[in-house]
Every structure is written in structure tokens, then in C-alpha cells.
Amino acid sequence: MSITIDLNVETDLTESQRAALVWIERCLEAGAEIEQLPPAEVSVTLLDNEAIRRLNREYRDVDRPTDVLSFPLWEPDEEWETTDGEPVPLGDIFISIPRTEEQAAEYGHSFERELGFLAVHGFLHLLGYDHGTEAEEKEMFTRQEEILERVGLKR
């Protein structure tokens, strides 16, 4: 396995939501494989809307909840450095569980699909993908769908 995932749950989860957490690992493992990453590690934290709103306000000056936030430890053009074969620390992903539920219902797909999508979206941001331009968005969203299809989370 080329990716280590430190999963932190800082909100209440239903039994079905807890069962869906395996999709985070499946999606990020597929993403690491497709991106041909060296051994790497990522932190994923699941939050409620208030906690992600505070992060969004503090780091992006946007005072509202969002679905996913990513905080990379590397600049997009920076070379990854590790010592003694240690995994590359990619950064942190924060996902709002209430927003995940809301968006799954809004888009008409499963909680698992939305959770996988948000994990992959955050992961790709850690790798330097962005969606600020139409070309960047096309590249990022094509890669997202490729990863989600690989693990069977199709639309």
C-alpha cells in the first residue's frame, strides 16, 4: 500500500455513516495508485458544520460551512523530500459529514459516493490539482471520476 491514512472522527456518526468510512481508504488508495505516488500519508478529519465553518473562516475568510477543505504541506511545484524511506506527508483533509449527507441527497446519489468524492477532491488538492480555470477544472474532475470509477463509485 502506498498511502497511510490517519482518520479522525470529530463528530457523531450514524452506524451507516461509520460503515461508509471504508470508502475513504479505498478511494485514496486508488488515487495514490493512479497518481503513482511514492509512499505517502494523509490526515482525514470528519467534522460537523460548525467546526468546518470555523476552519473556513479562519483560513479562507469565508464565514460559512463548506463540504471539504484541504491543507497541503507542499507547494505544487515543490519537490517532496523524506528521510530514511518515511512516507511523504501530503497534508490534511477536513470533510463535513452534514454537508456530505445534504449533497448526496441533493445530487441523488449515495452517502458513500459523496464521501468518496469529497475525499478524492480534497486529496487531489493536496497534490496540486485545482479548479480555478476551465482547463484545470476539466483535468481535476476527469481525474476524480477516474478514481471513483476504479473503486466502483459511479454516478
Query: Is 125 labelled a binding residue?
Result: yes
Residue type, 37: L
How long a stretch of residues is the chain? 155
Query: Is 109 labelled a binding residue?
Result: no
| Cα separation, 18 vs 43, whole angstroms | 17
Residue with cell 484541504: 70
Residue-wise burial string across 119-152, b where 16 or more C-beta atoms lie within 10 A, e elsewhere: bbbbbbbbbebebeeeeeeeebeebbeebbeebe
Q: Contact 114/107 with Cβ under 8 angstroms?
A: yes
Which residue ranges are tagged as binding site for Zn(2+)?
121, 125, 131
Which residue ranges are tagged as binding site?
121, 125, 131
